[in-house]
Amino acid sequence: MNTSRKMGAEVAIVGGGIVGCAAAYYLARRGAKVVLLEKSVIGGEASGRNGGGVRAQCRDRRERPLAMASIRLWVGLEAELGFDVEYHQGGNIRMATNDERMAVLRREAEEELADGLAVEMWDRDELRRRAPYLGGVFSGAKYCPTDGTANPILATRAFGWAARRAGVTLLTQTEAVSVGVQAGRVTSLTGRDRDGGVLVEAPRLIHAGGPWTPMLSDTLGIQVPIEPARSVVAVTQRMPPLFKEFISSHDLGVYGRQAREGHVHIGGIGTPGRTFDQGVPAGVIERLARGAAEAIPALRGASFLRTWTGTLEMTPDRVPIIGPVDGVEGYILASGFSGHGFCLGPIVGKLLSELIVDGEPSLSLREFRLSRFAETVGSAQMGEEMDSPRLRGMEHY
């Protein structure tokens, strides 16, 4: 391909979602020269389409310290980026409809409290008192007061705009097609846009490519166990103020939040279709409607105005893959956020900037290494792991 444009950088980044843009921003603030390639628009995929929950509770233990640190960044994000991303620390309620679920939540609470995350268990009466808008089907809940919500579309773009102001070269509508490697280290990234090719010469590459990550990592001979999954969100017409928390129920299979101007967003929890297809299935719209009406009775008089889908990036253990990769020096993965990467975007971006500029991140990324999959299972068993019954009940959104 004719790479008519050439540029040099200290760090090349693939992916203009919240992770890529946050990494670009924090790196540029530390003085690094960064070029970011995004195949469509900044925030055009999952980072801009998710349910908007910014949460530390209900996570795998490995993610918890990152999520807690990220929330401290979210609190100061409007000032940091100079843009209102509609972040609201309104709390997070995870409801239960039966004793089994309550028991699961209690065990989770013990672990979270031990890790320093303040959560509370609410029985039926307390739930009724604290969240009277929730339906009578719930018998209790776990509540985290420091969790909250934000506007995914604006937050991702705000990171992009701030990165650009800080000197990052953002190349949108530019697809990354190959990575140059010499003597076991990254030397360049090649991208393709409407006008032809662009060559970015850089010794480091952060690969935050979401579900499209394996397409590029395959060209490097690196097996990254990420599979796509479709997730659907529906939004109502504007409603009077009903609630400020992020709410979710694994039993009803829905989560929700009320956005700033009153529209209620309802998303699905469950086993999403394993596909890149972004069509909206009729059955899912109906299930969201049913879950919404049961969770929040006031929505029975409301209408869905709009739906959309996004593509998640699922790993075998539903925990992201972050960090350097053996055998290709300078190649850093930051993908596989399995439906719960929105909150983590800022902290992962910051930690990657620390990894590159300081040589070490302020929070360990060891638990997120790619090599953990080879350590626990042989590669032949990778496919089976994705379907394991043990995983089906786990959080992924």
Partner 1 sequence: MADRVEVAVVGAGPAGLSAALAAARAGAQVTLIDSHRAPGGQYFKQAAAELWVGNPSRHQREGQALWQKVMEAGVRFLPETVVWGTFEGNLLALHGPQAPSFLQAQAIILATGAYDRPVAFPGWTLPGVMTAGAAQVLLKQQRILPGKRILLAGTGPLQVVLAAELVRAGADVVAVLEGGRLFTASLRHLGVLWGQWRRLVEGLSSRLTLSRWRVAFRPGWGIAEAHGRDQVEAATITRLDQDWRPIPGSEETLACDTLCLGYGFIPSNTLARLMGAEQDWRPDRGGEVPLRDGHMQTNVPGVYAAGDGAGIGGGPLALVEGEIAGIAAAARTGHGAGDVEREIRRLSPALARERRFQQMYAALFTPGPGLYEWSREDTILCRCEEVTQGDVRRAVALGADSINEVKAITRCGMGDCQGRMCGHLVAQCIARETGRSVTEVGVFRPRPPIFPVPISALGRHAADDTSAGAAEAIRR
Partner 2 sequence: MTRIGTSPEVERGQPITITVDGEPLQAYAGETIAGALLAAGRKAWRRTLHGRPRGMFCGIGVCFDCLVTVNDTPHVRACLTPVAAGMVIDTGGKP
Residues that bind partner 1 (CB under 8 A): 41, 43, 48, 153-154, 157, 161, 164, 236-237, 261, 277-290, 292-293, 299-308
- Cβ at position 134, least distance to partner 2 in Å: 20
Residues 218 and 286: beta-carbon distance below 8 Å: no
The separation between CA 137 and the C-alpha centre of its own chain, rounded to angstroms, equals 29
Coil/strand/helix, residue 240? coil
Q: Which is nearer to partner 1, 280 or 377 (CB)?
A: 280
Q: Which is nearer to partner 1, 252 or 351 (CB)?
A: 252
Is residue 177 within a helix (H) or strand (E), and if so which, with residue range? strand 175-182
Tell me which of partner 1, partner 2, none is bound by residue 363, counting a contact when its beta carbon lies within the kind-specific cut-off of 5 to 8 angstroms.
none
Q: Which is nearer to partner 1, 13 or 199 (CB)?
A: 13
Burial of 77 (0-12, 13-18, 19+ CB in 10 A): buried
Q: Which is nearer to partner 1, 152 or 316 (CB)?
A: 152
Residues that bind partner 2 (CB under 8 A): 237-240, 261-262, 301, 303
Tell me which of partner 1, partner 2, none is bound by residue 116, counting a contact when its beta carbon lies within the kind-specific cut-off of 5 to 8 angstroms.
none
- Cβ at position 157, least distance to partner 2 in Å: 22
d(CA 331, CA 193): 23
Tell me which of partner 2, partner 1, none is bound by residue 262, counting a contact when its beta carbon lies within the kind-specific cut-off of 5 to 8 angstroms.
partner 2
- Cβ at position 231, least distance to partner 2 in Å: 27
Residues 315 and 226: beta-carbon distance below 8 Å: yes
Residue 204 DSSP one-character state: -
Burial of 107 (0-12, 13-18, 19+ CB in 10 A): exposed
Q: Which is nearer to partner 2, 109 or 259 (CB)?
A: 259
Tell me which of partner 1, partner 2, none is bound by residue 48, counting a contact when its beta carbon lies within the kind-specific cut-off of 5 to 8 angstroms.
partner 1
DSSP-derived pairing of the beta strands 205-207 and 196-201: unpaired
Residues 339 and 312: beta-carbon distance below 8 Å: yes
Q: Which residues pair with 233 in a beta bridge?
A: 267, 308
Q: Which is nearer to partner 1, 266 or 344 (CB)?
A: 266
Tell me which of partner 2, partner 1, none is bound by residue 239, counting a contact when its beta carbon lies within the kind-specific cut-off of 5 to 8 angstroms.
partner 2
- Cβ at position 340, least distance to partner 2 in Å: 31
Tell me which of partner 2, partner 1, none is bound by residue 293, counting a contact when its beta carbon lies within the kind-specific cut-off of 5 to 8 angstroms.
partner 1
DSSP codes joined into one string, 29-66:
HTT--EEEE-SS-TT-SHHHHS--EE--SS--TTTHHH
- Cβ at position 87, least distance to partner 1 in Å: 17
Q: Which is nearer to partner 2, 242 or 391 (CB)?
A: 242
Q: Which is nearer to partner 1, 3 or 172 (CB)?
A: 172
Return the C-alpha torsion angle 143, 144, 145, 148, nearest 10.
-110
d(CA 138, CA 251): 10
Tell me which of partner 2, partner 1, none is bound by residue 240, counting a contact when its beta carbon lies within the kind-specific cut-off of 5 to 8 angstroms.
partner 2
Crossing angle of the two packed helices 64-75 and 345-358, in degrees rounded to 10: 100
- Cβ at position 126, least distance to partner 1 in Å: 27
Coil/strand/helix, residue 275? coil
Tell me which of partner 1, partner 2, none is bound by residue 304, counting a contact when its beta carbon lies within the kind-specific cut-off of 5 to 8 angstroms.
partner 1
- Cβ at position 236, least distance to partner 2 in Å: 10
